[in-house]
Amino acid sequence: MRKIFVAEKYAEKSENTILSNEVAKLKKDVLKFGVELKTKEAKNLSKKDPVKALVAILSAENYASQVNTTAKTEQLKKEIYENLIRVKFDEVNENLGKKDYKSALSALAVVRNSVKTGGIEEVDGKIVSEEVENLQKNAYNVAVENLISEGKNAIKNNDHTTAFTDCKLIESYAAKLNKKVDIEKLRKNAYEIACYSKINEANGLLNKGDADGYATLNVATSYAKKANLEDLAEIEKIKPKAHDVFANYKFNAAKETVETDPGDSIVNLLLTKKHAKLANVRLPADFEEIKNKAYNNGINSKNQR
């Protein structure tokens, strides 16, 4: 088939009408043969491998459309879709038996597509849409069970990221079942692990004088509240250091913009003062000097407008 298309291109380039007509006739004959060949292939594969059979029958229809003829494929295609649905239902049941809800849902998606594309309503005396709905519910129930187990294992391994993801998926599948699943304990455990993870991260950053440690500690505080761990000693212990590091960060920022953006500098100075107080530390020795310069530059800037 590929060689015919190549010959067709060369014939067009040669601008030889006789050659083009001969190639066109040959192409038509080849396509007609292709229709017969692919239809026969689809018929042979219909029960053994309906996926390959479907590819073959669709190829036959494509070839037929190129020679403006109608391939008598409707009945065979219907049989192929029915066989495909049977195969996929078997896959679903097998996967559900192995508690593999992902593969089961994937197979059901193929069934739904086959119903829609092939117009199949009933197979072996069963209404396909009803069978899909029942199997889908079973898959969702398996998903919820699996994810709860997976979430608990994640907690044992201190993997809060996986636990959070599992909680979201559990809620999603439970909603599809119109069912409420109690995962509050699982979620709180995940927040507790996440909280301690962020405390360790914040501590490491603050020890290096990195102001990102302040933001990280705030995240840890948020997680602590969600885990019902109010006034956690580990957080309270490093709060002063966090405020101190953040105050220094803001003071350095104030000094950098005192000439170019005195308004921004004043805001950073106010934050410096606030966090120094929370850290119970003295303000930098040159704080007043920078403050006066910022206010003076701000006044001068307004006067020049």
Show the 3-state SS of 288-301. Answer: HHHHHHHHHHHHHH
| pLDDT confidence band for 21 (50 / 70 / 90) | low
| Structure tokens, 278 | 């929370």
Residues 6+ apart with CB under 8 A from 56: 38, 39, 41, 42, 45
| Confidence (pLDDT) at 277 | 96
Pairing state between β 122-123 and 126-127: antiparallel
Residue 18 reports pLDDT greater than 80: no
Q: Average of pLDDT values for 58-70? A: 81
Percent of the chain scored above 70 by pLDDT? 88
| Confidence (pLDDT) at 285 | 94
Q: Average of pLDDT values for 82-107? A: 96
Buried b (16+ CB within 10 A) or exposed e, 135-156: bbeebbbbbbebbbebbeebbe
| pLDDT confidence band for 305 (50 / 70 / 90) | low
**pTM of the predicted model over 0.85:** no
Structure confidence by residue, pLDDT tens digits, 131-172: 999 999 999 999 999 999 999 999 999 999 999 999 999 999
Residue 34 reports pLDDT greater than 80: no
| Confidence (pLDDT) at 134 | 96
